[in-house]
Structure 1
Amino acid sequence: MSAKVVVVGSLNMDLVARAQRLPRPGETLAGDTFFTAAGGKGANQAVAVARLGASAAMIGCVGDDAYGLQLRNALEVEGIDCQGVVTCAGVSTGVAMITVDAASQNCIVIVPGGNGLLVPDAVARFDGLLQAAQVIICQLEVPLPTVAWTLARGRQLGKRVILNPAPATGPLPAEWFNHVDYLTPNESEAEALTGVAVHDQASALLAGTRLLALGAGKVIITLGAQGALLITPDGHQHYPAPVVKALDTTAAGDTFIGGFAAGLVQGLEEGEAIRFGQRAAALSVTRAGAQPSIPRLAELLP
């Protein structure tokens, strides 16, 4: 069976420490707990797609080490097509070092490892997966030329293209926008892309309108506990977030993206797909870790 959603992106092993607060520069803190978990924005989104009812394939690179083997196995257990996950000799698998405080806020340092070897030719080798997909998802944890190539190829093939611009450190190349059906930044990413400080619906609308003007098809700005704002050429719609007590926000955005994509390919209307992604993300923040926190479809059914 061909995958309906193909994710082109990163695979990381997450090394997670919990502490009462985040350390200041030069400070050493005593932590409370430590664990490792499969992560990486690309892999997280693929897992969310698969757990939430749609077929998924992953295109990415890992190192020839124990973490790489663990990450591939974690995807295969979920039924994800891993023919596009390439093991690269002589390089480490990507890692993310994550500290989470008592308020469930986090700070993350990422070492790309194998993710840095996902060049355009590496994606082109698996063009058959792209051709068979309904939705293609990209993020920014792999080389930007690879993201650019994949977005353009997705548009050329007439696929629905989702770009999650994370982590965003500044404006995107102008030519990218016309290839994107759904641009999905959070508040800080929207600010990095537009220069607009996003802190509520009004500022999100201003940022989203600017992104539309740059050429994005539609924009969904996720606002954490304030929900999500969909901005389209025809208007905008706010979607309130389910109210939960957050434990760990790691992978909440990835869960939303995967849930949204899974909803689209399962025939949900756009707004319904957003709500579906929100419900999945809300459940994910009540649990620790990246992929371990992502819920399954049965947990969201009435």
Structure 2
Amino acid sequence: MTDIQNQKTTAREVLAALGHGERVAVVGSINADLTVETEQLPCPGETVVGGPLETLPGGKSANQAVTCALLGTATSFIGALGDDAHGDLLYQSLRRAGVDTAGVSRVNQPSGSTLITVDSHGENTIVYSAGANATLNAASVAAQAEIIRGAQVLGLCLESPLEAVAAAATIAREAGVTMALNFSPITKVPDSLLRLVDVLIVNEHELAVLAGRPLDSGDAAGLRAALSDLGFERAVLTLGADGALVLEGGEFVSVPPFAVAAVDTTGCGDAFMGSLLAAVAAGEPLSRGACLASAVAGVAALRKGAQASYRNAREVRAFLDFS
């Protein structure tokens, strides 16, 4: 059996383990993605011609929650939406995916948004405007503490105010809930928050910023040392087209990507993390969870948009069976 066949088998096994009473909570951002396709991404000062403007549901945290729910894991989302048309679109997208929205508030602010350009190779640039996401704070998170306490895993990223992220992380630690942090977008965070992280998800550039020095993705010992120096024992280092490296039990495991003809990579990293959250909640090791996450991210790259490109467990299984 080839490596890719082994990876598919593992991904199928992990997929079958999901949705048996475990729960994931995700606290953070939810945005309207204003997306335009163009032949090539503009250089600074350059104007290029694009196609029709599309408004699609997104936001790193919401994307992760939607991925979890579509895979069959009970998932709750805590965040803030504006009382506007974008807010209605985003709320309905969560509901359609099966996400529990009891922790979603509506505020008198524009909903969060991102401006996205996608080129003919599926690569993108993204500019984020927080909008209603900026109203999420320690008090609003504390008001939803029972949602966090009722989960096996809490997913966080850094698109939300740090006080909200820290409050959620503290509640999780006190309740014995595993906390996974996606260190994106890059933000200066206090050591007190980093010490609350159980599982770190970063790309190579983000890890270099955290470590304060350049890193080589081919130097496993150097990467392990950087993570160890930062105090992390469980981590996933995503490497884009080169897959991912998983640190667990003192060892690195390489997880290759699934080869697909990418249409749009927007939201693929969030699909990866959302799948990983679901797998960890089901008690799977990170390396096995990453096998499923790689497949789910590959499926997401086949269609335009973030949440609009995500597929349910049955469709992911079909991808594994027939790709």
The aligned counterpart of 1:145 is 163
The aligned counterpart of 1:14 is 33
1:192-207 correspondence to structure 2 within 5 Å:
192-198=209-215, 200-202=217-219, 206-207=222-223
Distance 1:199 1:206, change over 3 A: closer
The aligned counterpart of 2:103 is 84
Secondary structure, counterpart of 1:268 in structure 2: coil
Of 117, 122, 125, the match for 1:104:
122
Does residue 178 of the first structure (1) align with residue 178 of the second (2)? no
Contact 1:201 1:229 in 2 (8 A): no
1:1-302 correspondence to structure 2 within 5 Å:
4-89=23-108, 91-169=109-187, 171-198=188-215, 200-202=217-219, 206-232=222-248, 234-301=250-317, 302=321
Report the TM-score when normalising by structure 2.
Answer: 0.88
Contact 1:212 1:232 in 2 (8 A): no
- Aligned residue type for 1:181: D
1:260 Cα offset (Å): 1.0
Secondary structure, counterpart of 2:34 in structure 1: strand
- Aligned residue type for 1:262: A
- Aligned residue type for 2:212: G
2 CA distance for matches of 1:157 and 1:214?
A: 23
Give RMSD over aligned pairs. 1.8
1:232 Cα offset (Å): 3.5
1:213 Cα offset (Å): 2.0
2 CA distance for matches of 1:17 and 1:32?
A: 6
1:150 Cα offset (Å): 1.4
Distance 1:197 1:77, change over 3 A: same
Contact 1:51 1:78 in 2 (8 A): yes
1:198 Cα offset (Å): 4.8
2 CA distance for matches of 1:267 and 1:235?
A: 19
- Aligned residue type for 1:25: P
Provide structure 1 residue ranges, at least 5 long, that are not aligned to the other structure: none
Distance 1:94 1:144, change over 3 A: same
1 CA distance for matches of 2:313 and 2:242?
A: 24
2 CA distance for matches of 1:185 and 1:284?
A: 19
1:20 Cα offset (Å): 1.2
1:257 Cα offset (Å): 0.7
1:187 Cα offset (Å): 2.3
Which has the higher mean CA deviation after the structures are superposed, 20-29 or 288-297? 20-29
2 CA distance for matches of 1:279 and 1:196?
A: 31
- Aligned residue type for 1:172: V
Distance 1:48 1:240, change over 3 A: same
Distance 1:229 1:74, change over 3 A: same
Could you say which structure has the greater relative contact order, defined with CA pairs below 8 angstroms and 6 or more residues apart?
2
1 CA distance for matches of 2:27 and 2:279?
A: 19
Between the aligned residues of both structures, percent identity stands at 36
CA deviation map 1:218-250 (0-9, x unaligned): 110000111110123522111111111111111
Distance 1:61 1:4, change over 3 A: same
Contact 1:10 1:115 in 2 (8 A): yes
Contact 2:22 2:282 in 1 (8 A): no
2 CA distance for matches of 1:228 and 1:217?
A: 16
1:3 Cα offset (Å): 7.0
